[in-house]
Structure 1
Amino acid sequence: MSLYWRILLLNAVVLVVAVVLLLGPVTVSTPVLPSEASILCTGLVAMIVANAVLLRIGLMPLQRLVRAMATADLLRPGSRPAVTGPREMAELISTFNTMLDRLEAERATSSARVLSAQEEERRRIARELHDEVGQTLTAVLLQLKHAADRAPAGLRDDLHQAQETTRDSLDEIRRIARRLRPGVLEELGLHSALRSLAAEFTAPGLSARTSISPGIPSHSDETELVLYRVAQEGLTNIARHAHATCAEVRLSRRPDGGIGLLIRDDGRGMDRAAEGAGIRGMRERALLIGAELTILPGPSGGTDVRLDVPMTAKEDS
């Protein structure tokens, strides 16, 4: 039973007992006159109703605080319950808001450290794939070519097939290394990186294209990396789960001078599915640069993933 109903019922019991005593032979005439009984019953109902209204008003800030606690999400910061009510409740709500501020700041700091370490680990793995595994496979290719040139005709076709398999594996390792460490982003910029990313995600039955509006302002390195990673994760989700035939990556200038990124597909949509680790990672990256990530149904089916980077967030990054 909620606190509201417990207090109300306790008060109602007290009032009922008081009225029963008044209706007894102590202070009321015996037998009780109908006018006296009606007055007492009316007073009893009025007191209970007034008590219920006052309790509802008094406990309303506590109910708002409970709803805020139940819906608090550190990946969607900014929502706070209003500090209202009696002094004790106002202090409780203010303390809760302060706690949320501290948790959001600590979450942002820890997320920045984790994502920075993650990017460093991606770079290390990409270097090892390119420098060690890539060079090893290149040496294997040369050895296979040397063996194929000297092998008898019966083995030559098998060695050529082994060469093709090794060459495909080398190309796949290079693609993985590029996804782990977007060198094109560092060398050619965000626009070229997004076009290259869309080209890499083109698969049988799925085509991806980019649309980049002119006049987009320059961004900080951190902002460009967040935009690239969000686009990468969005396209990965489309390729894995959306069952789409077409995907689009659109980069545009916001009316306030900020940046807008849209990843759209024509697949089956979210179907109210719970957000996975990929979407949570996108939200954490968005918080690092003060951006807002929204996921909505597309205009003609599918899903729209929008990342809006305000001008102030871009300058502060």
Structure 2
Amino acid sequence: MLDQLRAMGVFACVVEKSSFSGAARELGITTSAVSQQVRSLENEMEVTLLHRSTRRLSLTEVGQAFFHSCQEMLAAAERGKIRINELRDDLVGDLRISTTPELGATHVVPALSHWISAHRGLNVFFETDNKCVDIVQEKIDIAIRMQAKLEESSILAPTVLARVDQVLVASPSYLNQSMPISRPEDLLNHELIPINSMKDYPHLSFEHGVTKEAITLDMKHRLETNNVFVAKSLCQKGHGIARLLYLDVQKDLINGSLVEVLPAWKLPTFLLTATTLKRELQPMKTQRCLEALKQYFSQLPGGRVYQEAS
């Protein structure tokens, strides 16, 4: 098929240049190669496309009809090339972003809101789920997730947007009515409100910020959820202690509706990542979207979110 399409392009060039030699110069091949291409078309279709004479070339009736078809083919190919260049270099077409419902509503939409408004040629699809998606299978351009560590992959390229602390939080009323908490072991007298989509969610690993003392423990619980907003609401209503990302409770800590528990003891840091397919040339829309995300997360206020060093 490709050989036939190439031969059709050569034939159209011969007609436009009115000579085999002119077509050869235009295409950068020999005159004999041009003649061979046209002859192969005629043999394959069992027709005569050109009347050849020592002075000039002329199209047969069949050749005239075929020439129009070749022109349409070349025009379609050129339109396809232009469209590919647009999709590669311009901010047009579809952009599919996968993230969690909480990250999407709280941060991804605010991060990209002005950027989306500025690029009306983009159709942006937000796919939200707490489960990790198959980027290839679901045709996702950018997947935004929290990760405990970067995972190596031959096909995926993660970009770190920010390092985010985990914090233990509780409501002031809960802390006032419960046993005091001065060390991690004291938590065993309390109940955790875990988010079960987190790996090893009842397991807590602490390190003291100054002494570097390390303590691990497993907390009991009778309430659990797969949603950050629900866990925070339960916590605010005084039902226990929640392990949440600082991004999700920063405002609540500032306004006093939640209080950080054991602030001197640090939980492992999470990485907020934007993952794309690993490829030599990313589409411009993907590159620009990543830049908008990096800018947003680098400017978030608060001492617990740090921009990834380049």
User: Structures share a fold, TM > 0.5?
Assistant: no
Higher share in helix: 1
State TM-score, norm by structure 2. Answer: 0.29
State TM-score, norm by structure 1. Answer: 0.29
Task: Name which structure has the greater RCO, CA cutoff 8 Å, separation 6+.
Answer: 2
Q: Which has the larger radius of gyration?
A: 1
